[in-house]
Amino acid sequence: MQTKTYNTAPYDDQKPGTSGLRKKVKVFQQPGYLENFVQSVFNSLADFQGKTLVLGGDGRYFNRQAIQIIIKMAAANGFGELIIGRGGLLSTPAASNLIRKYHAFGGIILSASHNPGGPDEDFGIKYNVGNGGPAPEKFTDALYQNSKIITSYLIAQFDDIDLDNDAELEIDGLKIRVIDPVDDYAELMAEIFDFKLIKQSIAAGLLSLRFDAMHAITGPYAKRILENELGAAPGSVFNAVPLEDFGGGHPDPNMVHAHELTEIMFGDNPPVLGAASDGDGDRNMIMGANIFVTPSDSLAIMAANARLIPAYAKGIKGVARSMPTSQAVDRVAAALGLPCYETPTGWKFFGNLLDADKITLCGEESFGSGSNHVREKDGLWAVLFWLNLLARKRQPVEDIVHEHWQTYGRDIYCRHDYEAVDLAIANEIIDHLREQLDSLPGKNWGAYTVKFADEFSYTDPVDNSVSSHQGIRIGFTDGSRIVFRMSGTGTIGATLRIYLEKFEKNIRNHDQDAQLALAELIDIAEQLSRIKKLSGRTEPSVIT
Ligand code: VG1
Ligand code: CO
Q: What is the pLDDT of residue 18?
A: 84
Q: Is 102 exposed, middle or buried (0-12, 13-18, 19+ CB in 10 A)?
A: middle
Whether 487 lines ligand 1, by a CB cut-off of 6 Å, is: yes
Q: Which of 15, 19, 375 to mutate to test the pocket of ligand 1 (most atoms within 8 A of CB)?
A: 19
Encoded amino acid at 269, one letter: N
Residues β-bridged to residue 107: 54, 128
Q: What is the pLDDT of residue 271?
A: 98
Going by pLDDT thresholds of 50, 70 and 90, the confidence category of residue 193 is: very high
The CA 55 to ligand 1 mean position distance, Å, reads 21
Mean of all residue pLDDT scores within the chain: 96
Contact 183, 32 (CB under 8 A): no
Contact 452, 466 (CB under 8 A): no
Q: How far is CA 456 from CA 110, 136, 424, in A?
A: 30, 18, 22
Contact 370, 376 (CB under 8 A): yes
Show Cβ contacts of residue 190 under 8 Å, excluding neighbours closer than 6 positions.
229
Does residue 534 carry a pLDDT above 90?
no
Does residue 427 carry a pLDDT above 90?
yes
The CA 499 to ligand 1 mean position distance, Å, reads 14
What is the residue extent of each domain of the chain?
Answer: 3-181, 185-408, 410-543
Q: What is the pLDDT of residue 465?
A: 93
Q: Is 191 exposed, middle or buried (0-12, 13-18, 19+ CB in 10 A)?
A: exposed
Please determine whether the domains at 3-181 and 185-408 fall in the same fold group of CATH. yes
Instruction: Summarize the chain as % helix, strand, coil (round to 5).
Output: 35, 25, 40
CA dihedral 166, 168, 171, 175 (to 10 degrees): 110
Instruction: Tell me which fold the domain 3-181 belongs to.
Output: Alpha-D-Glucose-1,6-Bisphosphate; Chain A, domain 3 (3.40.120)
Nearest to 79 by CA among 34, 112, 127, 29: 127
Does residue 186 carry a pLDDT above 80?
yes
Q: What is the pLDDT of residue 536?
A: 85
Going by pLDDT thresholds of 50, 70 and 90, the confidence category of residue 533 is: confident
Does residue 490 carry a pLDDT above 80?
no
Q: How far apart are CA 129 and CA 140, in angstroms?
A: 11
Q: How far apart are CA 453 and CA 459, in angstroms?
A: 18
> Choosing from 19, 40, 96, 113, which is the catalytic residue?
113
Other CB atoms within 10 A of residue 436 CB = 14
Q: Which of 15, 18, 58, 280 to mutate to test the pocket of ligand 1 (most atoms within 8 A of CB)?
A: 18
- Average the pLDDT over 202-210 and give the result: 97
Encoded amino acid at 80, one letter: G
Nearest residue (CA) to ligand 1, atom 13: 487
Q: What is the pLDDT of residue 511?
A: 85
Q: What is the pLDDT of residue 489?
A: 83
- For 216-229, the pLDDT digits (tens) are 999 999 999 999 99
The CA 485 to ligand 1 mean position distance, Å, reads 12
113 is catalytic: yes
Going by pLDDT thresholds of 50, 70 and 90, the confidence category of residue 506 is: confident
DSSP notation for 314-380: T--S-EEEETTS-THHHHHHHHHT--EEEE-SSGGGTHHHHHTTS-SEEEETTTEEEETTSSS--HH
Q: What is the pLDDT of residue 509?
A: 85
Antiparallel, parallel or unpaired: β 481-486 and 494-504: antiparallel
Q: How far is CA 188 from CA 91, 105, 109, 318, 430, in A?
A: 14, 20, 20, 22, 43
Q: How far apart are CA 370 and CA 375, in angstroms?
A: 8
- For 343-383, the pLDDT digits (tens) are 999 999 999 999 999 999 999 999 999 999 999 999 999 99
8-state DSSP, 252 = -
- Average the pLDDT over 285-312 and give the result: 97
Q: How far apart are CA 252 and CA 280, in angstroms?
A: 10
Nearest residue (CA) to ligand 1, atom 1: 489
Does residue 318 carry a pLDDT above 90?
yes
Going by pLDDT thresholds of 50, 70 and 90, the confidence category of residue 510 is: confident
Ligand 1 atom closest to the CA of 282, numbered from 1: 18
- For 132-151, the pLDDT digits (tens) are 999 998 999 999 999 999 99
Residues β-bridged to residue 127: 108
Show Cβ contacts of residue 250 under 8 Å, excluding neighbours closer than 6 positions.
114, 115, 116, 257
Contact 202, 273 (CB under 8 A): no
Whether 147 lines ligand 1, by a CB cut-off of 6 Å, is: no
Looking at per-residue pLDDT, the higher value among 17 and 165 belongs to 165
The CA 208 to ligand 2 mean position distance, Å, reads 25
- Average the pLDDT over 323-340 and give the result: 97
Q: How far apart are CA 463 and CA 352, in angstroms?
A: 8
Does residue 438 carry a pLDDT above 90?
yes
Does residue 537 carry a pLDDT above 90?
no
Encoded amino acid at 30, one letter: Q
Q: What is the pLDDT of residue 1?
A: 86
Whether 409 lines ligand 1, by a CB cut-off of 6 Å, is: no
Q: Which CATH class is domain 185-408?
A: alpha beta
- Average the pLDDT over 108-113 and give the result: 97
CATH annotation of 410-543:
3.30.310.50
Please state which of the ranges 92-101, 102-111, 427-436 shows the lowest mean pLDDT: 427-436
The closest ligand to the CA of 58 turns out to be 2
Whether 211 lines ligand 1, by a CB cut-off of 6 Å, is: no
Contact 201, 389 (CB under 8 A): no
The number of C-alpha atoms within 13 Å of 115 and in the hemisphere containing its C-beta is 28
DSSP notation for 461-517: TTT--EE----EEEEETTS-EEEEEE-SS-SSSEEEEEEEEEEE--GGGSS--HHHH
Ligand 1 atom closest to the CA of 92, numbered from 1: 20
Does residue 491 carry a pLDDT above 90?
no
Ligand 1 atom closest to the CA of 497, numbered from 1: 16
Does residue 402 carry a pLDDT above 80?
yes
Q: How far is CA 19 from CA 68, 94, 113, 343, 404, in A?
A: 22, 16, 9, 15, 32
CA dihedral 376, 382, 388, 394 (to 10 degrees): 160
- Average the pLDDT over 393-400 and give the result: 97
Going by pLDDT thresholds of 50, 70 and 90, the confidence category of residue 116 is: very high
Q: What is the pLDDT of residue 535?
A: 86
- Average the pLDDT over 84-111 and give the result: 98
Other CB atoms within 10 A of residue 452 CB = 13
The CA 139 to ligand 2 mean position distance, Å, reads 20
